[in-house]
Amino acid sequence: MWKFLFASLLLAGPVLAQENASAYEALRVIGTQLNRQLVNRVVSVNGFEGDPQPRTWKVLVEDKNAANGVREIVVEDNRVVSQRATNRSVVGSTKGSTIDTAKLNLDSTGAYSVAAHTAETSHVTFSLTSYTLRTDDRGNPVWIVTLADRSNRPVGTIHIRASDGRVNRVEGMYQGRNMEQAEVNRDEADNPPPVENDELQNDDENSDENLVLKDVKRMFRRTTRDARRMFQRVRRSFVDFFNR
């Protein structure tokens, strides 16, 4: 009987083990343990080397009393472990721009689902996941999810709008395309042409470059379609989450 109980506990161990907190949960910790108003002054949220969620979240909040105007709050194991003024800046965000939490409809868990599905359909294998939530140049909250191998070498990055799940950019996630090639084509990926124009364009040219470009566009369109469908399943309002 004791052997049976011991075996049962071993099997139940992974299920009982506490998973790392999501970004929403980290923000709720800040709002409840420090000050609710800090949640309305978030500039960025960062988590690195998640499996799939990171153990530590680093949140930059606007702080007029800090020398550089921002304060870094570190959340780990569902508690605030440190906070300090920092000289860090947020690449890509407009200076002084904070995240409108009313527009947040995608937690880091949902962003992971979209990125992992894209990697699977693209035959990209990964072990670690890093996250950045910030605003783009238009003030929209966007998730930047970077997938890496066991040596923490990036194998692909996907940019997902946190308000509606729209994929804005994909880098290095398509089979046979390295990071440099994806970077070259990223502007066209942001604004893919209509399908009918894509099929007619350069019909009489058969260069490898044109074939690769057409293949990337096709895969990007599939990614955006899949992301829209998945968003309906993983959608999660931050306001509802925080106030529940």
pLDDT, one tens digit for every residue, the chain (244 residues): 444 433 343 344 443 345 899 999 999 999 999 999 999 999 999 999 999 999 999 999 999 888 888 999 999 999 999 999 887 665 555 555 899 999 999 999 999 999 999 898 888 999 999 999 999 988 999 999 999 999 999 999 999 999 999 999 998 887 544 443 343 344 444 454 443 333 434 444 455 557 767 777 888 888 889 988 999 999 999 999 999 8
Q: Please choose, from the candidates 108, 105, 89, the residue with its C-alpha nearest in 3D space to the C-alpha of residue 97.
A: 89
Q: Please choose, from the candidates 19, 31, 6, 10, the residue with its C-alpha nearest in 3D space to the C-alpha of residue 238.
A: 31
| CB-count burial class (<10 Å; 0-12, 13-18, 19+) for 79 | exposed
Distance CA 244, CA 136 (A): 28
Q: Please choose, from the candidates 63, 97, 225, 219, the residue with its C-alpha nearest in 3D space to the C-alpha of residue 73.
A: 63
The pair of structure tokens assigned to 73 is 């709050």
Distance CA 25, CA 30 (A): 9
The pair of structure tokens assigned to 203 is 């019909």
CB 163 within 8 A of CB 174: no
Assign 153 to helix, strand or coil: coil
- Predicted TM-score (pTM) of this structure: 0.78
